[in-house]
Amino acid sequence: MGRPRTFDVEDALEATLAVFWRKGFEGTSYSDLVAATGVERPALYSAFGNKDMLFLRALERYGSHYGNYVWEAVSHDRSRDVAWQVLEGAVELNTRYADRAGCFGINGGLAGSDESEASRQALIKWRADGEAVLRERFEKARREGDLPSDADPAVLAAYILAVAHGIAVQAKAGFSREKLTAIARQAVSTWPSA
Amino acid sequence: MGRPRTFDVEDALEATLAVFWRKGFEGTSYSDLVAATGVERPALYSAFGNKDMLFLRALERYGSHYGNYVWEAVSHDRSRDVAWQVLEGAVELNTRYADRAGCFGINGGLAGSDESEASRQALIKWRADGEAVLRERFEKARREGDLPSDADPAVLAAYILAVAHGIAVQAKAGFSREKLTAIARQAVSTWPSA
DNA sequence: AACATTTCATAATGGTTGTTACGTAATGAC
DNA sequence: GTCATTACGTAACAACCATTATGAAATGTT
């Protein structure tokens, strides 16, 4: 019962996600979100909570709707293919939309004022979760002999994600998909073989 | 003539640099700068101009006082040593100060509101300048036979800096110097040889 | 048709942002 | 010692920030 919503919550969240993706947490004002969603301020608050909550919801959606290529990547048979797919997927996503180049998980915010610390911690945790998935996949590869016994799965996972983060920075700076792909190729050329 | 300054301009700039390094352009308020420098607002304006100008001056100082390891790196004889020194220098600088982890050139701002676009463009140009220096060094290496003829100096330079940027992101997230060093080692583990 | 409930849009809240007038204080030149 | 010049600290500026009080409008239930 009660008066029904006149806007679609998922649509509003998607529009919100796009703004945070482009401008980051601190660079996004509630006025921006009102303009992007077409939803008035109090309606956004009642649907999502405050700016912190809205950002967390957007990050969650980003992971499930855009960052899912990581899960497909880890399902490959060879660890080298996994590494390559993560980087190629990052390049593709980071250059897919001209108006929001780069990665939400990076653009969202690295440094900022104390008021935005919560959003940055959420991003750090989000990236760490992805790293854990990748590390476990490489541990499995080493057990299976797909990686040499002296390879360090934790270092390899952190390395691949470091390259992905660097690619995200460069994508936001306007690097072409071709150049970023060449960087990804160079990155996996260091891949160890059993 | 006129009343002399009661504060040291270089000291104030260094304090300003430290705040921007930690909080980025958007995360830093003029009140933060007043507190960090101990200089009243109008004195900062008369000495440096507005926030944009102050940020540009801080970036300039960062390049000459902290980013100079790149110039030392490119003076090495072998391209592999150049690449390694750039990454090791980045790791050292990005973990040198606990209160301002990461790189000014990254923390300063990747995404943000339209009002801070000038600062982000300045950072993009600053990073591009560093990339050009590295690319020219690798072009020289290829001419000298220190890199194979089918190596692409532009890609190698962009690759090394992508890793450096990724390391900066991870340093800001709290990664240890040891872990970042291992990542850097992995990055140069299969440097092309002639 | 009356009620409880939920959302709506308008408009205001107190606080902070970057930026400056303003009048006073300190200097070198004459 | 007067003058032009520069810097000082206080205090203000309009604009924007995230957040919310308020009352009307729209629903399902009775």
pLDDT digits (tens, 9 = 90+) for B118-163: 999 999 999 999 999 999 999 999 999 999 999 999 999 999 999 9
Q: Is the pLDDT of residue B194 over 90?
A: no
Neighbours of A140 (CB within 10 A): 15
What Å value separates CA A57 and C1' D21? 26
Does at least one atom of strand C sit less than 7 Å from the CB of B1? yes
CA dist B31 and B160 (Å) reads: 37
Q: Give A47→chain B minimum CA distance, Å.
A: 24
Mean pLDDT of B19-43: 97
Nucleotide nearest to A51 (CA to C1'): D18
What Å value separates CA A9 and C1' C9? 18
Nearest to B111 among A24, A155, A175 (CB): A24
A28·B113 Cβ contact <8 A? yes
Mean pLDDT of A179-187: 98
Q: What percent of chain B has pLDDT over 70?
A: 99
Mean pLDDT of A53-81: 97
Q: Is the pLDDT of residue A124 over 90?
A: yes
Contacts of B158 in chain A (CB under 8 A): 170, 175, 179, 182-183
Q: Is the pLDDT of residue A193 over 90?
A: no
CA dist B4 and A185 (Å) reads: 58
Range 93-112 of A in CB contact (< 8 A) with B: 102, 106-112
Contacts of A13 (CB under 8 A, 6+ apart): A48, A57, A58, A61
Q: Is the pLDDT of residue A53 over 90?
A: yes
Nucleotide nearest to B40 (CA to C1'): D9
Packing angle of the helix pair B153-172, B177-187 (nearest 10 deg): 160
pLDDT-based confidence at A89, cuts 50/70/90?
very high
Report how many Cβ contacts below 8 Å link chain A to chain B: 148
Does at least one atom of strand C sit less than 7 Å from the CB of A3? yes
- pLDDT score at A112: 98
- pLDDT score at B193: 82
pLDDT-based confidence at A1, cuts 50/70/90?
confident
Mean pLDDT of A46-69: 97
What Å value separates CA B1 and C1' D5? 6
CA distances from A18 to A21, A32, A34, A139, B5 (A): 5, 11, 13, 35, 47
Ordered by where they begin, the domains of chain B are 9-63 (1.10.10.60), 67-187 (1.10.357.10)
- pLDDT score at B180: 98
- pLDDT score at A159: 98
Mean pLDDT of A34-56: 97
- pLDDT score at A190: 85
- pLDDT score at B1: 79
Amino acid in the structure at residue B159? Y
- Round the average pLDDT of chain B to a whole number and report it: 97
Angle at A29 between CA A24 and CA A31, to 5 degrees: 140
pLDDT-based confidence at B64, cuts 50/70/90?
very high
pLDDT-based confidence at B2, cuts 50/70/90?
confident
Cα B116 off chain centre by: 18
Nearest to A183 among B108, B162, B190 (CB): B162
Minimal-distance CA residue of chain A relative to B32: A113
Tell me the per-residue pLDDT of B40-53, one tens digit each, with 9 for 90 and over.
Answer: 999 999 999 999 99
Q: Is the pLDDT of residue A194 over 80?
A: no
Q: Is the pLDDT of residue A12 over 90?
A: yes
Cα B61 off chain centre by: 10
Q: What percent of chain B has pLDDT over 90?
A: 97
Q: Is the pLDDT of residue B116 over 80?
A: yes
- pLDDT score at B101: 98
Mean pLDDT of A25-50: 97
Range 152-181 of A in CB contact (< 8 A) with B: 152, 154-156, 158-159, 161-167, 169-170, 172-175, 179
B186·A159 Cβ contact <8 A? yes
Does at least one atom of strand C sit less than 7 Å from the CB of A42? yes
Q: Is B89 on the interface with A (CB under 8 A)?
A: no
